[in-house]
Amino acid sequence: MNSKKLGVLGGGQLGRMLVEAASRLNISVTILDNPVDSPAKQIQSTSTHIHGDFKDPLKIQELAQNVDVLTIEIEHVEVEILEKLFSEKSVEIHPHPFTIRIIQDKFLQKTHLSQNEIPVVDFMNITDRESLNIAVEKFGYPIMLKSKILAYDGRGNYVINSDDEITNALKTLGNFKIPLYVERWTPFVKELAVMVIRSVDGVIKSYPVVETVHKENICHLVIAPAQVDGVILSRAKEIAEKSIQTLKGAGIFGVEMFLMKNGHVYVNEIAPRPHNSGHYTIEACETSQYENHIRSILNMPLGSTSLKVPAAAMINVLGKSENIQETLGPCVEALTTPGATIHLYGKKECRKGRKMGHITIVADSISQLYKRINPILNIDDENSISTTSSKNIQPLVGIIMGSDSDLPTMKACAEVLKSFDVPFELSIVSAHRTPMRMVEYAKTAHVRGLKVIIAGVPVKGKILDGVDSLYSIVQMPRGVPVATVAINNSTNAGLLAVRHLGAFIPSYLQKVQEFTERQESEVLAKVDKLDQVGWENY
């Protein structure tokens, strides 16, 4: 299918998962990295792996001579030698060295994005303490001081809260020995991320928008799809794809974004390689980020980026200490969690904060996902449940009423949904009084993830007992199907919605079955009582 040989700068976990995907396609991968048994080298036996620094120009040249396509698993490489190899056309390189150069320097990256009209938070170059003072005057406190280069997983960042902290901040980030810049403080409500894949021909496809939760600046948890409104999802997807259009070269890119309270989305930073926020794609998408990276840089057709499961999460397994057993607590819990898959990276030494592995969890719904991941998260942090509470869940059912006067009738429906643990929303949407809102609601319902809309039930009026209302609902024209339950019976509307969900979500099917059995027992208990006490005394 493809006989090109692939070389990778770096042999950590990203390289390892690239190798795993490559092996399935029988594609030969040569790794350049120092350890003889680095994670990526462990899972493809070949005598051709190169043992040396992935920043060493000579070693990179040696690798280039032995492969057809070069790629990276880390962007902090010596870009000069890549530019030289690129200009000599002796090897294909993805991503393009131009892209690596831009992304390596966070200030250059922000400038590039900003010039291409991609929304980013306000930022400013600083060259000395005086220009930092000017920035503080402009942006106010707190202010984010950042290294332009070699910054990742929170390294090279410092939040300055007051004048008193400036000296220490500058000292911590090397007193301008490494170039610095500042960013306006960004009080985001959520962090979002999108993996974007681009082919050699420039065709772009993106994976679902996910939300990421960081702990001490390291990615801790990823939820797919992100539990935000569909309009936000579209916005984030569009911005992510547009960002990658401004860069050169094929491959996979991770775009990290901030979601602000007002719905604005800013690009925080881009990774020109497989990314932690895309690990979930191995189990949850039709083609993983790793396989798609390989496909794109070898000029093979791109695979589907669709989710194949309703919901997925990724939890990083971070070193708690040098004790690997302590670190593996979440994995032990995951072994008894349905839908969980453990990935350990084969790292020989465990250190505090080191990425030792990750766990992917899939589920039939976001509700089930949270139930599955909370015990795993709680191993490390008793409070983590707060990040995954039900308030974060997008509704599956929408109850809408033409007027708040219907609320007394619809409350029973809401109670049913609540008792079945169905995430739902309840609002007023009137075809007559808020027609624009109704059109918007109907048009975006499927994008927002609604599976059932309960647009009221026929309500008993003073005249005709609600028969007019009943008739008006069933009598929608041919082609516009709407069904109704009985007048005032919003309980049954709720139960019917749960049954719809249960047809496709096994955890709700089970609840429907339990409800039906309970209901049957209750009636049978009445039968018994009637037999025992007789009808006169019942």
Task: Report d(CA 181, CA 149) in Å as an integer.
Answer: 10
Based on C-alpha coordinates, what's the Rg of the chain?
28
With binding defined as CB under 8 A, does residue 306 bind a copy of itself?
A: yes
Which 445-464 residues touch a copy of itself, going by CB under 8 A? Answer: 446, 451-452
CA distance 145 to 519: 62
**Residues 58, 159, 203, 332: which binds a copy of itself (CB under 8 A)?**
332
Furthest CA-CA distance within the chain = 101
Q: Which residues within the stretch 244-283 sit at the binding site for a copy of itself (CB under 8 A)? A: 283
Site string for a copy of itself, 176-205 (x = CB under 8 A): ------------------------------
Name the phi and psi angles at 49, rounded to 5.
-55, 145
Residue 110 CB, nearest approach to a copy of itself (Å)? 36
Shortest distance, position 411 Cβ to a copy of itself, whole Å: 14
The residue within the footprint of a copy of itself, chosen from 87, 262, 336, 537 (CB under 8 A), is 336
| Nearest residue (CB) to a copy of itself, 108 versus 204 | 204
CB closer to a copy of itself out of 156 and 339: 339
Q: How many angstroms separate the CA atoms of 435 and 404, rounded?
A: 16
Out of 32, 226, 300, 313, name the contact with a copy of itself by CB under 8 A: 300
Q: Looking only at residues 466 through 505 of this chain, which bind a copy of itself when binding is defined by CB under 8 A?
A: 470, 474-476, 478-487, 489, 491-496, 499-500, 502-504
Is the CB of 218 or the CB of 342 nearer to a copy of itself? 342
Binding to a copy of itself (CB under 8 A): which residues in 349-368? 357, 362
- 156 within 8 A of 147, measured Cβ to Cβ: yes
Q: E strands of 310-423, at which residues?
A: 311-318, 340-344, 355-363, 397-401
Give the interface size with a copy of itself as a residue count (CB under 8 A). Answer: 73
The residue among 17 and 143 lying less far from a copy of itself, judged by its C-beta, is 17
Question: Which range in 162-170, 264-272, 273-281, 287-295 contacts a copy of itself by CB under 8 A?
Answer: 287-295
d(CA 340, CA 363): 9
- Is the CB of residue 414 less than 8 Å from the CB of residue 494? yes
List residues bridging with 398 in a β-sheet.
425, 453
> By C-beta, is 110 or 343 nearer to a copy of itself?
343
Q: Which stretch binds a copy of itself (CB under 8 A): 22-30, 97-105, 165-173, 378-386?
A: 22-30
Segment interacting with a copy of itself (CB under 8 A) among 61-69, 85-93, 341-349, 530-538: 341-349
Q: Which is nearer to a copy of itself, 178 or 447 (CB)?
A: 447
Q: Provide the CB-side half-sphere exposure for 146 (13 A, CA).
A: 26
> Between 41 and 80, how does the x/- string for binding to a copy of itself read (CB under 8 A)?
xxxxxx----------------------------------
Question: CA–CA separation, 453 vs 145, rounded Å?
Answer: 48
Q: CA-CA distance, 281 to 167, in Å (whole number)?
A: 43
Q: How far is CA 15 from CA 22, 189, 285, in A?
A: 10, 32, 19
The angle formed by the CA atoms of residues 112, 303 and 331, to the nearest 5 degrees, is: 85
Stretch that binds a copy of itself, among 66-74, 163-171, 200-208, 328-336 (CB under 8 A): 328-336
**Among candidates 197, 193, 199, 191, which has minimal Cα distance to 253?**
197
Which residue number, 138 or 446, has a Cβ lying nearer to a copy of itself? 446
Q: Of these, 133, 168, 304, 430, which contacts a copy of itself (CB under 8 A)? A: 304
Point out which residues pair with 258 in neighbouring strands: 191, 266
Q: Is 140 in the site for a copy of itself (CB under 8 A)?
A: no
Nearer to a copy of itself, 80 or 520 (CB): 520
- Under the binding rule (CB under 8 A), the answer on residue 527 touching a copy of itself is no
Among 255, 267, 331, 422, the residue binding a copy of itself under the rule CB under 8 A is: 331
- Asked if 299 touches a copy of itself (CB under 8 A), the answer is no
> For every residue of 190-255, which 3-state class applies, written as one string?
EEEEEEEEECCCCCEEECCCEEEEEECCEEEEEEECCCCCHHHHHHHHHHHHHHHHCCCCCEEEEE
* Closest distance to a copy of itself from the beta carbon of 24 (Å): 5
- C-alpha to C-alpha distances, 134 to 124, 128, 148, nearest whole angstrom: 10, 10, 18
Six-digit token pair at 53?
A: 């620094």
Judged by CB, which is closer to a copy of itself: 159, or 431?
431
Q: Which stretch binds a copy of itself (CB under 8 A): 78-86, 131-139, 142-150, 284-292?
A: 284-292
Q: Which is nearer to a copy of itself, 172 or 444 (CB)?
A: 444
- Binding residue for a copy of itself (CB under 8 A) from 48, 61, 341, 444? 341
Q: Which two tokens stand for residue 95?
A: 């991503």
User: CB of 167: closest distance to a copy of itself in angstroms?
Assistant: 45
- Residue 316 C-beta: closest distance to a copy of itself, Å: 15
CA–CA gap between residue 343 and residue 317 (Å, rounded): 9
Q: Does 32 bind a copy of itself (CB under 8 A)?
A: no
Tell me the DSSP string of 302-333. PPP--BSSSEEEEEEEE--SS-HHHHTHHHHH
- Comparing CB distances to a copy of itself, the nearer of 426 and 442 is 442
